[in-house]
Amino acid sequence: MKLQSLRGFRDILPAEAARWRRIEEAARAVTDAFGYAEIHLPILEATELFKRSVGEATDIVEKEMFSFLDRDKTAMSLRPEGTASCVRAGIENGLLHNQQQRFWYAGPMFRHERPQAGRYRQFHQIGVEAFGMAGPACDIEVIALSAALWSALGLEGLTLELNSLGSPECRAGYRTELQAYLRKHFDALDPDAQARVESNPLRVLDSKHPETRAVVADAPSMNAALDDASRAHFAAVCEGLDALGIRWVHNTNLVRGLDYYTHTVFEWTTDQLGAQGTVCAGGRFDGLVAQLGGGEVPAVGFALGIERLALLLGDAQDLGDHGPQVYVCWTGSECMTAAQRVGAALRSRRVRTVVNAGDGGFKAQFKRADRSGAQWAVIVGPDELAAGRVQIKSLRDRDAQQQTFPIDEAPAYLMQQLGIGGLSQ
């Protein structure tokens, strides 16, 4: 039997991992700038957590979760999304009662979906959640945070789609009205939409099926069902985004697939990834904390897909260089310890350094050094060791002369050549 990864699960190889690293570093810098603290959450949770939060009538719970019973017959699931886990952690650790909290997290999620480019059964998200702040200001803040991340990554061409689901009362009233309309046009809907008419009718609004979209085009408008307070909240969000210069479009059919959303919902979309055009999505979920056993705590957040952002970054962008800058070559067992000490001295000065390991003479080591992408080679041989010196050779400038330095002076010279400063020797 040939061993290989499971369907929908894949390896992230070094070339792509460089894009992931850039995304994660940018996310850390932007969330720090906005005052969000990092939280780490379990991959495995009680199945009941997702049934109570996401909704039993959603595709995630009905079809997509990886769920099983453990040896104690406890029902548990690999997390399909991060918000429910973040709320559970906040309640369990007493972080949400009469407090304001701003969190962010990153990690794998799991859904048993049909794999496509940018969508896998194990996928990775960065999530941002803010608790304890009612009103439109925090909606504006989390959307501005997402926009700042695109700027930090140098991404252009993303479209912000915005809508309001209003209060729970507005949503409930609209649900009844929409169901009545869809029942009248039931035979014109595609099978998936027909299955949702009774269980989750709002999901019919974002159907991609042509016949269903034709029915939805004449459906009652969610915006017409909003009360005055919901209209005012949405208008304030729109005005705040305008004031920050964040462009948006109003998508009246944007509903999001999870039951816990209220008021503002949004998506950042692109036309560069085919059918998987949503890069980031979120909104306000004021009732979820109470739904999971906490108090009445307002909340808003979003999640973005790392795989899809990595596809958008592509290979052409400057992703930064995380490979070695210096490769230390040595020969002769007596030179091994000296080479390791040179490597340690360089690394302590933040010079990315590989010290040769394994067999091979200098010719083979130079080939390895060149393939590694290092700019400089440091050579420690028996003659150099006896003289207390090393040789330094440029791997990128073939015309440069090889130079000899005392061992203690080599790090300073290489730092100067690499433009690294600010640390004492």
Question: What one-letter code names the amino acid at 52?
Answer: R
Q: Are 351 and 410 in contact (CB under 8 A)?
A: no
Q: How confident is the model at residue 25 (pLDDT cuts 50, 70, 90)?
A: very high
- For 308-336, b/e burial (b = at least 16 CB within 10 A) is bbbbbbeeeeebeeeebbbbbbbbeeebe
Question: What one-letter code names the amino acid at 230?
Answer: S
Other Cβ atoms closer than 10 A to 121: 19
Q: What is the predicted pLDDT for the residue at 171?
A: 81
Least reliable range by pLDDT among 97-106, 121-130, 315-324:
315-324
Q: How confident is the model at residue 11 (pLDDT cuts 50, 70, 90)?
A: very high
Do strands 353-355 and 326-330 pair parallel, antiparallel, or not at all (unpaired)? parallel
Phi and psi at residue 393, in whole multiples of 5°? Answer: -130, 130
Give per-residue pLDDT as tens, 334-364: 899 999 999 999 999 999 999 999 888 999 9
Q: Which of 340, 331, 339, 394 is nearest to 363 (CA)?
A: 331
Q: How confident is the model at residue 223 (pLDDT cuts 50, 70, 90)?
A: confident
Strands in 75-78's sheet, in edge-to-edge order, are 44-46, 75-78, 67-69
Going by C-beta distance under 8 Å and a sequence separation of 6 or more, which residues neighbour residue 204? 178, 182, 189, 193, 196, 197, 212, 216
Q: What is the mean pLDDT of residues 140-167?
A: 95
Q: How confident is the model at residue 259 (pLDDT cuts 50, 70, 90)?
A: low
- For 11-44, b/e burial (b = at least 16 CB within 10 A) is eeeeebebbbebbeebbeebbeebebeebebeee
From CA 172, how far away is CA 185, in angstroms rounded? 20
pLDDT higher than 50, residue 375: yes
CA atoms within 13 A on the CB side of 211: 11
**Average pLDDT of the residues of the chain:** 89
Question: What one-letter code names the amino acid at 245?
Answer: G
Other Cβ atoms closer than 10 A to 350: 14
Q: Are 33 and 63 in contact (CB under 8 A)?
A: no
Quickly tell me which residue has 């409930």 as its tokens.
Answer: 172
Q: What is the mean pLDDT of residues 207-226?
A: 85
Q: Which of 340, 358, 344, 347 is nearest to 325 (CA)?
A: 347
Least reliable range by pLDDT among 18-27, 320-329, 414-423:
414-423
Q: How confident is the model at residue 63 (pLDDT cuts 50, 70, 90)?
A: low
Q: How confident is the model at residue 323 (pLDDT cuts 50, 70, 90)?
A: confident
pLDDT higher than 60, residue 186: yes
Q: What percent of the chain has pLDDT over 70?
A: 94
From CA 49, how far away is CA 45, in angstroms rounded? 7
Q: What is the predicted pLDDT for the residue at 162?
A: 96
Q: What is the predicted pLDDT for the residue at 315?
A: 54
Going by C-beta distance under 8 Å and a sequence separation of 6 or more, which residues neighbour residue 344? none
Q: What is the mean pLDDT of residues 181-196?
A: 87
